[in-house]
Chain A
């Protein structure tokens, strides 16, 4: 019998768990302040072969021989919730729903290359509206999320709609689109050129022009100048509209210096329809969050992002102050302990009612003070902060100890 949890899962010990709760609390507060209501969805879902992540989901058999899946992504689950509770919005009514979520997701993948199979996500969705102001709000909150945990944000922003329009114009057959989009996303011009050379169709002059434009897309990344380059590369109306859409979102930002454009972002081309983004922070080589607009994929109009909590914690680790302080007081006096707890002090209840045994207990726990009969007694060999005893005594004097019990 192994005491280790299954591959790709882990235990979270007190310091890390406290940090995680603090980060999640900070982000929840941020989204709440912007009007995003917390919702919950089941971790057990009905298995759906059309689910965007069905290949990565853990499946379970239900009692009635039905198949269940463990939640692998919050977005489809929230879309189900919208269909169940807000059918008008699911049917296309333009009424904004601002929702946030936090919880565990599971991916049935090889637990290789620093990937876990059970992890936490926090994120938000703005559903029932599709315009530049909504895109900008999501993008802004993604940036603020990184700032809120004390990290410096850098966002890459793209619009897969641009690549989609070029693939349409180049008359690329359906079965070749994903391969081409993947090469563009990797900025692999060699693969892209080879693939285009063997892709049928596109003899018309317009298609020829679109193919040349596709070859230029991997290099369309950088600052605001990218928009002008994109207009020059694909100067026809459908492509211009996609560039305009991105320009419209950027225009909502007073300071866009932390945003970098990349029109080669073309992953999940059939899912994301509008602005997409990922956030990074200096000296950390992996994305902290990702999201975008997916109108028509699961709901008529929706955009959002999700944050991998473990990865975010990893990025913040170097910048955090000392972990949460250990409990400060071991109490044999319940009413007095309540006064301190009400003031926010961490007070542990002694498991021994004998003072001598309680002193040993405090030493073992590394708690600096023992609270006996309304008085604080320093514990030998456990260091306390400067003036900490006077401060705690002050809290005890401020309110009369009343009531009984723990």
Chain B
């Protein structure tokens, strides 16, 4: 073996990407992402980075196209992928909650969500017979417009809820960004991944 193997990392576009790069650098990876526009897949020095929508990260890591990645626990659970998730990075903290118009009391008949799997699991758990509608855009709109009488969505500060006269009725789960690893890579690229995992865990806010 000539030094640790090179890693390919799957990172979600947007703010989580910047925070992910920050913690990966703090953990000792030299990552040069250049400025301005970047290719979808590029060599960033100590690792190759591929950028994608957060919901696709579990697929890329599960099939081993990426050795590791960063993804929210909520998205990971919704994907149903079984990945190794050795570090809770702590950032992008949010709740996945059941939301209704303020003061609504009737039985919930229809729930709209970007998280149909977790929503259905939750409704089964609480014994509700409500139907689930999968949406991909602004879910609050479903409640405001009357498409559904409740939604399951991510709540970070709650400001959007207040602005739309909605309220958080129940919390399904608490989420934060996880460092996820392909099971084969953990064994094949142990020399590169083990120290990275240890270093990420040592950062403030990580567990």
List the interface of chain A (C-beta within 8 A of B): 113-114, 154, 156, 186-190, 193, 218, 221-222, 260, 262, 278, 280-282, 284-287
Contacts and interface: CB of A to CB of B under 8 A. Distances in A.
A188 B85 contact: yes
Interface of A is mostly: strand
Interface string B174-200: 000010001111111010001000000
Contact of A287 (B178, B184, B194): B184
Contacts of A188: 85-86, 178
A113 B58 CA distance: 11
Nearest to B85: A188
Contact of B190 (A187, A222, A285): A222
A278 B84 CA distance: 15
Interface of B: 59, 62-65, 67, 81-86, 88, 178, 182-188, 190, 194, 207
B88 A280 contact: no
5 contacts: A187-B84, A187-B86, A280-B188, A285-B65, A287-B184
A149 to B, nearest CB: 17
Q: Which of B81, B182, B188 has the most CB of A within 10 A?
A: B188
Contacts of A154: 187-188
B83 A284 contact: no
Contacts of B65: 285
A186 B186 contact: no
Contacts of A284: 64, 184
Nearest to A110: B80
A286 B59 CA distance: 12
Contact of B63 (A113, A222, A282): A113
B9 to A, nearest CB: 14
B121 to A, nearest CB: 14
A285 B186 contact: no
A353 B185 CA distance: 59
Contacts of A193: 207
Contacts of B67: 285
Contacts of A156: 183, 187
B83 A186 contact: yes
Contacts of A262: 187
A186 to B, nearest CB: 6
A260 B85 CA distance: 19
B63 A287 contact: no
Given A284-B184, A285-B65, 12 more contacts: A113-B81, A186-B85, A187-B84, A188-B86, A222-B190, A280-B187, A284-B64, A285-B64, A285-B67, A285-B184, A286-B184, A287-B183
Given A113-B63, A114-B63, A285-B65, A186 B84 contact: yes
- The CB with the most chain A CB atoms within 10 A, among B65, B81, B187, B207, is that of B187
Contacts of B88: 189-190
Contacts of B84: 186-187
A260 B190 contact: yes
Nearest to B61: A285
Contact of B85 (A114, A187, A281): A187
Contacts of A278: 183
A285 B65 CA distance: 7
A184 B168 CA distance: 32
A262 B190 CA distance: 12
A227 to B, nearest CB: 16
A193 B207 CA distance: 10
A147 B81 CA distance: 29
A398 B65 CA distance: 54
B187 A260 contact: yes
A156 B84 CA distance: 14
Given A114-B63, A218-B86, A190 B207 contact: yes
Contact of B184 (A114, A189, A221, A280): A280
Nearest to A183: B85
A215 to B, nearest CB: 11
A282 B82 contact: no
A222 B64 contact: no
Contact of B182 (A187, A222, A285): A285
A244 to B, nearest CB: 23
B83 A286 contact: no
A299 B55 CA distance: 43
A113 B59 CA distance: 8
Query: Which 10 interchain pairs have the tightest Cβ spacing?
Result: A285-B64, A190-B88, A280-B184, A187-B86, A188-B85, A156-B187, A187-B84, A260-B187, A285-B184, A285-B182
B77 to A, nearest CB: 10
A260 B186 CA distance: 10
A184 to B, nearest CB: 11
Given A113-B59, A188-B85, A286-B64, A222 B194 contact: yes
B63 A286 contact: yes
Contacts of A222: 190, 194
